[in-house]
Chains A and B, each alone.
Chain A
Amino acid sequence: MRHGKSGSIKNENTNGEGEDVSVDMNVVILAGGVGTRLVEETEIKPKPMVEIGGKPILWHILKHYSHYGYQNFIIALGYKGEHIKKYFIDGIASNADHTITSKTDYVKNKNSADEEWNLQFIDTGIDSIKTTRIKKLQPYLSKETFMMTWCDGVSDINLDKLLAFHRSHGKLATLTAVYPPKRFGHLIIHGNQITDIQQLPETNRYRIDGAYFVLEPGIFDYVSDDCNIEWENGPLRNLAKDRQLMAYKHDKFWQCMDTLKDKIVLENYWNSGNPPWKIWE
């Protein structure tokens, strides 16, 4: 086992309590989609670069993972991928301490004393669906368990517990199941008369796929079978059918950034000084 440079977490799997292991597990971030929900055709930046508090949402997600010791990121690029590469390369150029390895798609980014991210940027095609992007990353993921998410939102998921849960059930895939944000404006109607307009009560709500996956290499068999069908509609469905898909229930903070309204919600959290996903502080 290779050892990561800085991160270590408490291993909560069955190997025993309190065993410290370094985290060199790969974290895949799908950052190539066109982003059909936030943006219009005219947009100038890819969704992972949309900023909260002056930092791209991708940066927030990397901070989250690295807080739990994960430093090895494989970032699947596509739509406006050059924008994303430029952001990290410029970040390095503006700080003398940083180095770029000779490997063109490999950037070692040491933005500050407490950040040591190994970022591999892999072009997975402009128009690719997620399934195709995942399949194209297979050569980079060897034969080990890996994590995966996308840049659709932020959360305060405890990644140690997520991994422990994944280890405990032994199936091929874990996703994080969350409650969608509450929506205002549900009508309470009695005989066509509207008596109130309120938020939908918690009990009427259902869980949704909040990403933050833990995956075994065995999932690539499902990806190959269904490489033209979107991840949620093909591979994930078949994993569920084969009883290989488990849900890690996360009840605390989760907020997607599908729309500009969501972005404003996140900005407001950030400006409040106590954003729930800022677990690194």
Chain B
Amino acid sequence: MYVVILAGGVGTRLVEETEIKPKPMVEIGGKPILWHILKHYSHYGFKDFIIALGYKGEYIKKYFMDYAHLSTDITINMKTGHVKKKNGSDEDWNIQLIDTGIDSLTGTRIKKLQPYIGDETFMMTWGDGVSDVDLNDLLAFHISHGKLATLTAVHPPARFGHLDIHNNQVKEFSEKPQTKEGLINGAFFVLEPGIFDYISDEGNIQWERGPMQNLAKDGQLMAYVHESFWQCMDTLRDKRVLEDLWAAGNAPWKVWEHKK
């Protein structure tokens, strides 16, 4: 089954205009967040990736082009220019890197991938969030309901601390709790090819607006509720949270080293 990763957005939340790298390449523990996402999927046996590129896509291509060399021992013959890899990369990944346009919105990127995906069920997520979603369970849920689309519904980490106020007096100053808000779209989708009918060829379409709302209206959008770890990397603060978890050695999304 293909796993589509949307990695082409400009990333309006983490970064400033001056940024030099696309968001999926922002590193946690010395590895791009995109690498962490691929590790997560491949842990569950999903190794065929289609990565939608856009903004600074060449940066992402270069990373994977170099990956095989840079992640293993190599011998270089300077005279001939021949490079000999001692071993291949540890990763058994097939990665298609597809340009879907610099300014395209998410829906339009998905639509542009239709020829590569073909007529099969596929998974899809963003290149900027990690979780410990059980992908087998997610897929089983999707197959069980038979609708066109499943998304993973999560509780968002609160962006601000809450004030507990009584008669204008601040009684308590709370830390940012995981949530007092409802469930949001945490990506980690499973999709049927029928969803392509919901994305127009015309214009620049945002997946979360028209298509997803229409899928919901038609009763074709189901929620796989995930109560465990989920964290998007919208901001540098989020990145630090993830870095700290990684450095502490117990990153919840590092499912590839958890005991089965």
**Interface residues, chain A, with chain B CB atoms under 8 Å away:** 35-44, 50, 165, 169, 175, 177, 180, 183, 185-187, 189, 192-197, 200, 204, 206-209, 232-233, 236-237, 239-240, 243, 245-249, 258-261, 264
Contacts and interface: CB of A to CB of B under 8 A. Distances in A.
A166 B165 CA distance: 16
Contact of A180 (B15, B18, B159): B159
Given A194-B216, A236-B173, A36 B153 contact: no
Given A187-B153, A209-B163, A249-B168, A193 B222 contact: yes
Given A187-B183, A240-B172, A246-B168, A37 B223 contact: no
Contacts of A208: 160-163
Contacts of A239: 170
B117 to A, nearest CB: 22
A206 B177 CA distance: 12
Contacts of A42: 16, 18-20
Interface string B93-123: 0000000000000000000000000000000
Interface string B148-186: 000101001001111101001111110100001111110
B35 to A, nearest CB: 18
Given A187-B185, A243-B169, A246-B168, A197 B216 contact: yes
* B interface bracket (residues with beta carbon within 8 Å of A): 35 or more
26 contacts: A40-B236, A42-B18, A44-B18, A175-B170, A177-B165, A187-B183, A192-B222, A192-B224, A193-B219, A193-B221, A194-B151, A195-B216, A196-B213, A197-B213, A197-B216, A200-B182, A204-B180, A206-B163, A208-B161, A209-B160, A233-B175, A246-B170, A247-B163, A259-B14, A259-B235, A260-B13
Contacts of B221: 193-194
